[in-house]
Amino acid sequence: EVQLVQSGAELKKAGESLRISCQGSGYMFINYWIAWVRQMPGKGLECMGIIYPGDSDTRYSLSFNGQVTISADRSNSTAFLQWSSLKASDTALYFCARSSVAGTHDAFDIWGQGTMVTVSS
Amino acid sequence: SSELTQSFSVSVALGQTAKITCGGNNVRNKNVHWYQQKPGQAPLLVIYRDSNRPSGIPERFSGSHSGNTPTLTISSAQAGDEADYYCQVWDSSTVLFGGGTRLTVL
């Protein structure tokens, strides 16, 4: 079964660092773009950035450039989303999603279950 | 704010047809994808590349992209179709989502 499994919910304090993960299985992880998507409470979907695990080519959406770091570990078929200093406004549900066609930008056919990050001030 | 424009909400009577549109300059000549999201769940792809239905998605879901107005159509709407629906395109290497439309089935 093709799936993305994300790490569990996090409760952190403002100023702390955090890395959440998204592990793919059932397909050739390195060949498909992965996106990280934020959903703030009661709000819509926002793409934070994308990564191609094959060569770690990473692109950040304008609003998130410099705010987070996206990376991937090919050997463990895992993508990561990282913050060096969390803010209360980072409180949100974070999804990873796979672009459906190898090597190209297409619809996101596989989604992780989501990781809830709560940051207290 | 999103560069893809969707109506905030759409209501449809049980068994009738709902249409959800996605506007904006970014949709011209681009493939549009549609997702359904129910509370507490991850988004689910329901239409890809304007009008294609993934395996397992009921035929009641269809998509079109004529002119500059991509449209998701849900025929014979059921209570289980109540959800938020998002359109999405790629703009170069940027992923854009619409603001989402809340579908209510009356």
Question: How would residue B25 be classed by pLDDT, with cut points 50, 70 and 90?
Answer: confident
**Could you tell me if B13 and B3 are in contact, meaning their C-beta atoms sit under 8 angstroms apart?**
no
CB contact, 8 Å: A92 with chain B? no
Question: How would residue B44 be classed by pLDDT, with cut points 50, 70 and 90?
Answer: very high
User: Would the CB atoms of A47 and B95 count as touching at under 8 Å?
Assistant: yes
* Closest to A111 in 3D by CA, of A11, A32, A14: A32
Chain A residue closest in CA terms to B3: A46
Closest Cβ opposite residue A44 in set B2, B54, B95: B2
CB contact, 8 Å: B61 with chain A? no
Please report the pLDDT score of residue B67 as a whole number: 75
In angstroms, what separates the C-alpha of B61 from chain A's closest C-alpha? 16
User: Please, how many CA atoms are within 13 Å of residue B58, restricted to the half-sphere of its CB?
Assistant: 11
User: Would the CB atoms of A59 and B94 count as touching at under 8 Å?
Assistant: yes
CB contact, 8 Å: A16 with chain B? no
Report residue A5: phi and psi, to 5°: -115, 125
Spatial distance between the Cα atoms of A49 and A40, rounded to a whole number of angstroms? 16
Spatial distance between the Cα atoms of B101 and B32, rounded to a whole number of angstroms? 15
Q: pLDDT tens, B74-99?
A: 999 999 999 999 999 999 889 999 99
User: Would the CB atoms of A44 and B49 count as touching at under 8 Å?
Assistant: no
CB contact, 8 Å: A51 with chain B? no
Spatial distance between the Cα atoms of B34 and B53, rounded to a whole number of angstroms? 10
Q: pLDDT tens, A74-116?
A: 999 999 999 999 999 999 999 999 999 999 999 999 999 999 9
